[in-house]
Structure 1
Amino acid sequence: MAKKATNPTQSLKIPQVIILSSKLLAFISPKLVTSFAAKLFTTPIKHKVPKRELEMDQKSTKKTLFVPAIHKNITTYEYGKSERKILLVHGWSGRGTQLFKIADELLQNGYSTVSFDAPAHGKSEGKTTIMSEFIASILEIEKQYGPFEIAIGHSLGGMSVLNAIKDGLEVKKAIIIGSGDIVHDILEEFVSKLGLQSEISNRLREHFENQYQVKMDDFSAYRAAQKIQIPVLVIHDKDDPEVSVEAGIHIHKHLHNGNLFLTEGLGHRKILGNQNVIKKIIDFTKTT
């Protein structure tokens, strides 16, 4: 069993007022604090597109895609003109243009990319979402834009890519960067950050399972990894403060055909623009 992996969906330090509110609600009612925590857990922060991502944003063909499985619209980005397509999946509170440096290099190597703003992210509608909606979006995008040769996911996007492959996404290879792993640990870590007792994490899990009609632990990345036969490159930074490197190591151990590339000093997001990392990705796309 891996060490607890820090919550990939909660990158920012939780404000003290929210922690105090959580503790007060927990004192009043476990049901109230569970609902409060569930709302926090499923509400991403929508950031403006940074200047560094504007070129990809402006040069992409953007469309609105309806995802029937979740009854939501998402915004998609087609970048480049090649028939050799790679799917890019951002993490929590990310955007479809967040992996722009990787996308630019892929274009230089004869690929085009398709990415998207997940539900409640970027230009897509909604205020709340959960990983199962990321996965449903990926599978619908494959129907509309596929086939894809490779899928690349960052953080929660990495977990989503592995689960989508388990659920039928057909790609020749996959790359996951800074991916979270064990859902139970993610929930426990989030509850701990709110200053709440660990029993609330069980209530939170039951809340989500009832609301979304899913089994949360089924989405753990290592479980999906066990069912994947294609080559998967796992990239993780040893100093990632948000998702422990143990998550990447644990996922790699459960892959049938996995490659593990560990970096140092890049953290959770700088890793996406590092030239050594991008070279490793390009080299992996070229291997047979």
Structure 2
Amino acid sequence: MPNVLTLLRTANGLLSPVVPRVCADVAAHLFTTPRRHKPPVRELISEQQGERLIIDRGHGFGQLSALRFGRGRGPRVLAIHGWEGRATQWGPLAEQLDRAGFELVALDGPGHGHSPGRRAHPVAFANALLDADRQLGPFAAVVGHSMGVPAVAIALRRGLRAEQAVLLAGPSNVETVLGRFEAMLGLSPAAARQFEARIAGIVGAPAEELSIAALGKELHQRALVIHSKDDREIPFADALDNVRHWPNATLHTVDGLGHRRIVRDAGVIETVVNAITAGQRS
């Protein structure tokens, strides 16, 4: 029995050259509508170890949910997950940061976890980081995973108060992310162009302005880029691009962790905590 993706590709192959706008609108809806996955047991434990916070976004934008880990006795670190992720994914990092004397505030992005909403994209995540900064900042560091990486760059460019950044398995180029999505859905060139225009209208900026290639040269914070060579969702080449375009970035390469295990790997967590701790001493 064909799966949903196969059916979509077949439909787009037939329809997107004929009715590109309709297919582009469907693609834009899919691209900005996350699914909420049931957290595994390890994350349910993390939920119990943290304290739920409500962040008021102001100006009629509603609220965000966040988890605060730690004893509130040291510098704060801010974290944002990736697409269809959750704040509870940062539980292992929170435990080690607490031992090192830091407090971790982990956001549920809009449309994710306990936060309300149905739509999400990197700019929405960046705005969430800025909302957290207004209520809880400044921060010793900000950590992002996957889609959270361009969100971190956008937020820093727009004034997020964080002394350093940690970028885990993140894309360097939003245009390339859109291109991969278009190819996955089998959009025609006309539908792809309209899809990109639709996304630009939703997020408020064209994709090229949201890429680290454009943003990095404006960022002064130190950045630690961590990426696994076997990542099948975001190619390792993106990590090289991130380091190339972020003046104060360094690369830490791992292998065998794919795209998601990197967030909870003990060695990666040790590297992150050491970097944040060293940043406070410098």
TM-score range, shorter chain: over 0.9
1:197-216 correspondence runs (5 A): 197-216=188-207
In the alignment, is the contact (CA less than 8 A) between 2:212 and 2:245 conserved in 1? no
Alignment-derived partner of residue 102 in structure 2: 111
Offset at 1:100?
1.6
1:160-239 correspondence runs (5 A): 160-239=151-230
**Helix, strand or coil for the counterpart of 2:237?**
helix
**What are the Cα deviations for residues 77-106 of structure 1, in whole angstroms up to 9, with x where unaligned?**
111123311001100000011122111111
In the alignment, is the contact (CA less than 8 A) between 2:212 and 2:246 conserved in 1? no
Out of 93, 96, 106, the position equivalent to 2:84 is 93
**Helix, strand or coil for the counterpart of 1:99?**
helix
Q: Give the counterpart letter for 2:155 in structure 1.
A: A
Alignment-derived partner of residue 46 in structure 1: 36
Change (3 A) 1:205 1:63: same
**What are the Cα deviations for residues 120-173 of structure 1, in whole angstroms up to 9, with x where unaligned?**
111111222211110111001001111111001000111111111111011111
Alignment-derived partner of residue 130 in structure 1: 121
Offset at 1:56?
2.0
In the alignment, is the contact (CA less than 8 A) between 2:17 and 2:188 conserved in 1? no
Change (3 A) 1:28 1:202: closer
In the alignment, is the contact (CA less than 8 A) between 2:17 and 2:190 conserved in 1? no
In the alignment, is the contact (CA less than 8 A) between 1:22 and 1:37 conserved in 2? no
In the alignment, is the contact (CA less than 8 A) between 1:14 and 1:193 conserved in 2? no
Offset at 1:194?
0.6
Out of 243, 254, 257, the position equivalent to 2:234 is 243
Distance 2:36 2:19 in 1: 30
Distance 2:177 2:59 in 1: 25
Distance 1:87 1:205 in 2: 30
2:64 maps to 1:64: no
Bigger proportion of residues as helix: 2
In the alignment, is the contact (CA less than 8 A) between 1:70 and 1:133 conserved in 2? no
- Count, aligned residues: 276
Alignment-derived partner of residue 255 in structure 1: 246
Alignment-derived partner of residue 102 in structure 1: 93
Alignment-derived partner of residue 144 in structure 1: 135
Query: What is the Cα-based RMSD across aligned positions, in Å?
Result: 1.8
Q: Which sits farther off after the overlay, 15-24 or 181-190?
A: 15-24
In the alignment, is the contact (CA less than 8 A) between 1:151 and 1:161 conserved in 2? yes
Q: Which sits farther off after the overlay, 45-54 or 149-158?
A: 45-54
Distance 1:25 1:119 in 2: 32
Q: Which sits farther off after the overlay, 152-161 or 27-36?
A: 27-36
Structure of higher RCO (CA pairs closer than 8 Å, 6+ residues apart): 1
Distance 1:271 1:116 in 2: 18
Q: Which sits farther off after the overlay, 121-130 or 238-247?
A: 121-130
Change (3 A) 1:200 1:72: farther
Change (3 A) 1:43 1:70: farther
Q: Mark the runs of 5 or more structure 1 residues left unpaired by the alignment.
A: 1-12
Out of 72, 78, 83, the position equivalent to 2:68 is 78
Change (3 A) 1:234 1:199: farther
Distance 2:227 2:277 in 1: 20
Offset at 1:202?
2.2
Alignment-derived partner of residue 19 in structure 1: 9
Alignment-derived partner of residue 263 in structure 2: 272
Q: TM-score by structure 1 length?
A: 0.90
In the alignment, is the contact (CA less than 8 A) between 2:35 and 2:84 conserved in 1? yes
- Sequence identity (%): 28
Distance 2:14 2:87 in 1: 37
Offset at 1:14?
6.4
2:112 maps to 1:121: yes
Q: TM-score by structure 2 length?
A: 0.92
